[in-house]
Amino acid sequence: MDGEVHVETEMEYVTVQAHPLRRSWRLAVVLSVQNVLVAVCLAVSFYCFWLEQQRGSETPEESEIYIRFDPIAGIPDSEPVKFKRYVNHTMNLSDDSGIQVRCTGPYMLYMEVCSEGLDGQSGNGTLELRVGNRKLASFSLQAREEDCRDSHQTVYLRKGEIATLYFTSKGKKNLEVKKLTLGLHYLLGTQCQH
């Protein structure tokens, strides 16, 4: 080829590597940010759990229908049991003894009762939940020394009824109720249509 000069050049590729110290610094920043975010998430989770525990220990949900009485002692024989303090929602107490029902349906009656026979003798008695003369639930008690028992029973109540709890000792008074805790909880949640 006449007078032409052909020059072939190779391009040289240069790779630049980041300095190892700069790379480890970036990794440390990323890991630190990640750890801070994890710690914040844990703190928020524990705070929410603590709030729920505080709220759950005060009262049942306000959407439930219930009445729960504080423990009482010294219950007289053959008279309606009188309650002083209670927590409720959509149920009330009339004359310190009558539980006013506002919803028809099944209820869970639950109680803890501690009883003791008098003068070291074995005693017998009964706790009954009644509406008028109709017996809804009955719990037999028998004890010589102080004896505490938990019990529950499902009862059906109608709107407008007033349920009353009675304690009777069999024969002469030979059994004393030392402590009674009682609650009545509507089993259909918020379905109070009748």
Give the three-class secondary structure for 91. coil
Specify whether the CB–CB gap between 65 and 186 falls below 8 A: yes
Give the 3-state DSSP-derived string for 124-189, with helices as H, strands as E and coil as C: EEEEEEEECCEEEEEEEEEECCCEEEEEEEEEEECCCCEEEEEEEECCCCCEEEEEEEEEEEECCC
Measured from the Cβ of residue 159, the count of other Cβ atoms closer than 10 Å reads: 13
Segment 8-37, tens digit of pLDDT: 555 555 454 556 667 788 888 888 999 999
pLDDT of residue 37: 92
The whole-angstrom separation of Cα 136 and Cα 156 is: 8
Q: How confident is the model at residue 155 (pLDDT cuts 50, 70, 90)?
A: very high
Look at the block and give the residue holding tokens 């790779």.
15
Token pair of 121, please?
A: 């003798």
Domain ranges of the chain: 66-186
Segment 180-190, tens digit of pLDDT: 888 888 888 77
The whole-angstrom separation of Cα 75 and Cα 116 is: 12
Architecture of domain 66-186: Sandwich (2.60)
Residues 41-58: what's their mean pLDDT? Answer: 78
Segment 104-125, tens digit of pLDDT: 889 898 888 888 887 777 888 8
Segment 64-109, tens digit of pLDDT: 676 777 666 677 777 788 777 777 777 777 777 888 888 888 989 8
